[in-house]
Amino acid sequence: MKKPRILVTGALGQIGSELVPKLRKIYSNENVIATDIKEKPIEGLLAGPFKIVDVRKKEQVEEIVKKYDIKVICHFASILSAVGEKNPELAWDVNINGLRNILSVAKNNSLKVFWPSSIAVFGPKTPKKAPQDTILQPATMYGITKVSGELLCRYYKNRYSIDIRILRFPGIISYKTLPGGGTTDYAVEIFYEAIKKKKYICFVKSNTILPMMYMPDCIKSIIQLIQIDSSKLRSCCYNIAGMSFSVEELVGEIRKHMVEFECTYKPDFRQKIADSWPKWIDDQEAKDDWQWKPDYDLTTMTKDMLKKIKGKLK
């Protein structure tokens, strides 16, 4: 059976840079086309095709789709929460106009689309354990673009019968790619600073609890959802969870391996964003529909992060 060709936008970002190599192991190097607005691919993406594409320009997306006979688009090009608050017009332009172009090209070429939503769709009125169907009144431009994006995706799915699949991700923790301007970036920065300086100044309070997921589980969930037969899916959009912990719980876990590590706290504008999000995610529908189950918890993730970052820095 012929393997489908997959286009990944935002391939140099935190998720895209790790998803592309995994997809290439499954579908072969030449069948996964990595794209980004940046000019030079990182080392891990050199094994297969890489092209410069601005998703705000529909003709560029259309050209790549036709040239490579694309069947699936994984659309990750996005402006994240903290950067989005500093430049809300850019966040809307990239996140909404870019997504609209992807969906329009998918409609014209009968493509399957995967798009990541976020816990940013929730807001202060959302229950602190966010259910699948709940109040979506985000307090950030990033969250507004994610709610608008979910509605746009549902419209294209219902109006044009496009196969669209969405995961509402928590904060993603990875040792390979440095943070890209998100509110949950502290959960990555803290590991690097612990190893390099034995101390860290955190931009949210010690008792701040947020949902998180380790990158291997993130990649696993995307591939599972892309591959599952559509007949098994009740929805096009799923909550998905990994673990939830406070900053002080994370600090305590790091100290089990590095007793000298010290963390101090200097909350900035990102504290208000974090306070608007839920503390836990209810992903029962993902568990029911496609047997979702994460492999990592706080203890195993912390141990692996420290090991991998130490190796990387050497």
pLDDT at 249 over 80: yes
Whether residue 94 sits in one domain with residue 200: no
Question: 164: domain range?
Answer: 6-171+213-239
Q: What is the pLDDT of residues 55-100, one digit of tens each?
A: 999 999 999 999 999 999 999 999 988 888 999 999 999 999 999 9
Whether residue 126 sits in one domain with residue 49: yes
Collapsed DSSP state (helix, strand, coil) of residue 291: coil
pLDDT at 45 over 80: no
Whether residue 194 sits in one domain with residue 122: no
pLDDT at 178 over 80: no
Whether residue 222 sits in one domain with residue 205: no
* Average pLDDT score over residue span 167-181: 86
What is d(CA 197, CA 138) in angstroms, rounded to the nearest whole number?
Answer: 36
Q: What is the pLDDT of residues 15-31, one digit of tens each?
A: 999 999 999 999 999 99
What is d(CA 260, CA 257) in angstroms, rounded to the nearest whole number?
Answer: 9
pLDDT, mean over the chain: 94
Whether residue 153 sits in one domain with residue 192: no
Instruction: To the nearest 10°, report the CA torsion of 30, 100, 134, 127.
Output: 80
The pLDDT assigned to 179 comes to: 67
Q: Evaluate whether residue 232 is within a structural domain.
A: yes
Name which of 9-18, 34-43, 170-179, 224-233 the model is least confident about.
34-43
DSSP code of 206?
T
pTM over 0.85: yes
The pLDDT assigned to 41 comes to: 67
CATH number of 18's domain: 3.40.50.720
Q: Evaluate whether residue 259 is within a structural domain.
A: yes
Could you tell me the end-to-end alpha-carbon distance of the chain, in angstroms, rounded to an integer?
43
The pLDDT assigned to 81 comes to: 84
Q: Evaluate whether residue 287 is within a structural domain.
A: no
pLDDT at 273 over 70: yes
**Treating both helix axes as pointing N-terminal to C-terminal, what angle do 98-109 and 58-68 enclose, rounded to 10 degrees?**
40
The CA-atom distances, in angstroms, between 25 and each of 2, 47, 93, 223 are 15, 11, 33, 12
Q: Evaluate whether residue 285 is within a structural domain.
A: no
pLDDT at 2 over 70: yes
Q: Evaluate whether residue 305 is within a structural domain.
A: yes
The pLDDT assigned to 80 comes to: 87
As annotated, the active-site residues are 142
Q: Evaluate whether residue 286 is within a structural domain.
A: no
Whether residue 194 sits in one domain with residue 94: no
Whether residue 101 sits in one domain with residue 17: yes
Whether residue 112 sits in one domain with residue 199: no
pLDDT at 183 over 90: no
The pLDDT assigned to 18 comes to: 94
Q: Total domain count for the chain?
A: 2
Share of the chain above pLDDT 90, in %: 88
Q: Evaluate whether residue 288 is within a structural domain.
A: no
Whether residue 192 sits in one domain with residue 57: no
Q: Evaluate whether residue 252 is within a structural domain.
A: yes
CATH number of 260's domain: 3.90.25
pLDDT band for position 182 (50/70/90)? confident
Residues 6+ apart with CB under 8 A from 194: 200, 254, 258, 261, 306
Whether residue 133 sits in one domain with residue 261: no
Whether residue 185 sits in one domain with residue 44: no
The pLDDT assigned to 46 comes to: 78
Whether residue 271 sits in one domain with residue 153: no
